Amino acid sequence: MKITYLRHSGFLVELEQVWLLFDYYRGEIPEFPKGKKGYVFVSHRHIDHFNKEIFSFLKKQNNITFVLSDDIWEKRIPEEAKEQTLLMKPEEERSVDDICIRTLRSTDEGVAFLVSAEGKTIYHAGDLNDWYWKEESEDWNQEMSANFRKYIEPLRDREIDAAFIPLDPRQEEYYTLGMDYFLELAKPEKVYPMHFWRKPEIIERWLEEHPQSQDRDRIVRITEEGELFDQ
C-alpha cells in the first residue's frame, strides 16, 4: 500500500487493484495509476475538504466512482459525473464493486469513512474530532466530547491499517484530545495526522509531549506535501 500526502486532509492511497483519494482540497496529485479503478471520497462540503476540480479527473480516467457525503448539494455535481456518484449519509454501509464503505457521523459536517478494500482497512476521519475550543462554554465542550466518543464508538478494538486523524494546532493545548482517544479506542497500524494547516511541526510536538506512549511508532511523521509513504 502506497500513501501520498497531498495537503491538509488530502491523501491518495494506492492498492494493488484500486486507488482511493480522500478529501482533495489543494496540492499536486500524482498521476493516477494506470489500469486501476479509482474512488474519490469527500467527507463533507467545507471548502478545505471539497474541491469541484475532482470531477475533472474524468477527463483523464473514466473508471472513477465518487463517494460523497450527502451534505454536498447535488447541483454541485456535474451532469457527466452523476451516474458515477454515490451520496452517503451518516451511519450508512454500502458495497461498491469489491469495496465496503461505512460512514460514521461527524461532530462537524458530513461523515467519516471506514473503507475495506483488498484486505486493507482505511479510516479517514474527515472532521470527526473532539473540537474543544476555549471560546466555547464548558457545557458546549463537554457535549462535543460526549458526541465525539459516541460517534467514534464503532471503531472500538477495530484493526485499521491506515488512519487519517485530525491534529489541529488551532485547538492550542486541546489539540491532542481526538487523537489520544482514537489511539485508546482503536487498533491502528499507522496513523497519519492531518488537518494541521501546513504546520507539520504539530506532529513533532505530539511526539515530544508523549515520550512514554506505546503509540509513538504508529504516528507517521509527515514533513512536506507530496510525501510518499510505502506501508
Complete edge-to-edge strand list for the sheet that includes strand 64-69: 85-88, 64-69, 37-42, 18-22, 11-14, 2-5, 228-230
Cell numbers of 224, please? Answer: 512536506
Identify the burial level of 207 via C-beta atoms within 10 angstroms of its C-beta, where 0-12 means exposed, 13-18 middle and 19 or more buried: middle
Which pLDDT does position 21 carry in this prediction?
A: 97
- Half-sphere exposure (Cβ direction) of 64: Cα atoms closer than 13 Å: 21
Which residue's entry shows cell 512514554? Answer: 212
| CA atoms of 131 and 125, how far apart (whole Å) | 13
**Domain assignments of the chain as residue spans, ordered by start:** 2-230
Q: Nearest 5°: phi and psi at 62? A: -85, -30
| CA atoms of 23 and 39, how far apart (whole Å) | 11
Which pLDDT does position 29 carry in this prediction?
A: 83
| CA atoms of 23 and 156, how far apart (whole Å) | 24
Which pLDDT does position 28 carry in this prediction?
A: 85
| CA atoms of 88 and 215, how far apart (whole Å) | 32
Q: What is the pLDDT of residues 24-69, one digit of tens each?
A: 999 888 788 888 999 999 999 999 999 999 999 998 899 999 999 9
Contacting residues for 28 by C-beta, under 8 A, at least 6 apart: 6, 225, 226
Which pLDDT does position 174 carry in this prediction?
A: 98
Which pLDDT does position 101 carry in this prediction?
A: 99
Q: Write out residues in the chain with pLDDT < 50, as ranges.
A: none
* Homologous superfamily, domain 2-230: Ribonuclease Z/Hydroxyacylglutathione hydrolase-like (3.60.15.10)
| CA atoms of 32 and 2, how far apart (whole Å) | 12
Which pLDDT does position 30 carry in this prediction?
A: 78
Identify the burial level of 163 via C-beta atoms within 10 angstroms of its C-beta, where 0-12 means exposed, 13-18 middle and 19 or more buried: buried
Which pLDDT does position 108 carry in this prediction?
A: 96
Instruction: Determine which helix (DSSP H) or strand (DSSP E) holds 149, and give its type and residue range.
Output: helix 138-151
Which pLDDT does position 75 carry in this prediction?
A: 84
Share of the chain above pLDDT 70, in %: 100
